Structure 1
Amino acid sequence: MLTEQNFQEIYLHCNDCNQEFAFTAEEQEFYQQKGYTQPKRCASCRAQNRQSKNGGGGYSNAPKPRFDAVCDNCGVNTTVPFQPAQGKPVYCSDCYRSMK
């Protein structure tokens, strides 16, 4: 059974910049629904923190390393996005697609 809670705007201090920021009733309700704890950073510090982590998803826009290899099927020189292991076959993209 859901109970209705009356949230009121509260003011918190940011752990990064120590500025006071509002934690609105709407934000509190959203955080509660998602099971989140109170924010520890203001909106601008949260955004800056996400940006420093490349968007927060753990993915970077930096190019991924490629490794030289020779296709075990057709013998063409190719590159792959992983370090080839000895004794494991490596295929060029054309041969790999044809095997699927």
Structure 2
Amino acid sequence: MYEDKTLTCRDCGTEFFFSASEQEFYAEKGFTNEPGRCPQCRAARKRNGNGFSRGDNRGPREMYKATCAACGAETEVPFRPRGDRPVYCRDCFSKNNNRY
């Protein structure tokens, strides 16, 4: 039913072997796509913590200045405040978040 295939890695461009038994395993697990990366690149992504992340090449997170709606302190948040919802500093957010 399954035949051995040679695929090309999307990261490093090398060819790798996708055996009939691996294809059968993928089918049993319900995977519909063939692997896009060779075993070495898949292992490297797992080691680097990028197994499911799409932010591989992002730099430091951009922070935005805001005034805390509860205590009035100046703070920085990782999103652009829109003005239609309150923004809290870390301390006030923690206090409010622990109530639920």
Query: How many residues are treated as equivalent by the alignment?
Result: 89
Q: Spell out the pairing of 1:1-100 with structure 2 (5 A cutoff).
A: 10-14=4-8, 17=13, 19=15, 21-37=16-32, 39=34, 41=36, 43=38, 47=41, 55-60=51-56, 62-100=59-97
| Shift of residue 22, structure 1, vs aligned partner | 2.5
Instruction: Specify the SS of the correspondent of 1:22.
Output: strand
Secondary structure at the counterpart of residue 28 of structure 1: helix
The alignment's TM-score, normalised by the length of structure 2, stands at 0.61
Question: Aligned in 2, Cα 1:32/1:87: closer, same or farther, shift over 3 Å?
Answer: closer
Identity of aligned residues (%): 34
CA distance in 1, matches of 2:71, 2:26: 55
**1-side partners of 2:22 and 2:36: how far apart?**
14
Q: Please say which structure displays the higher CA radius of gyration.
A: 1
Aligned to 1:3: none
Structure 2, unaligned stretches of length 5 or more?
A: none
TM-score, structure 1 length as denominator? 0.61
The residue matched to 2:53 in structure 1 has which SS?
coil
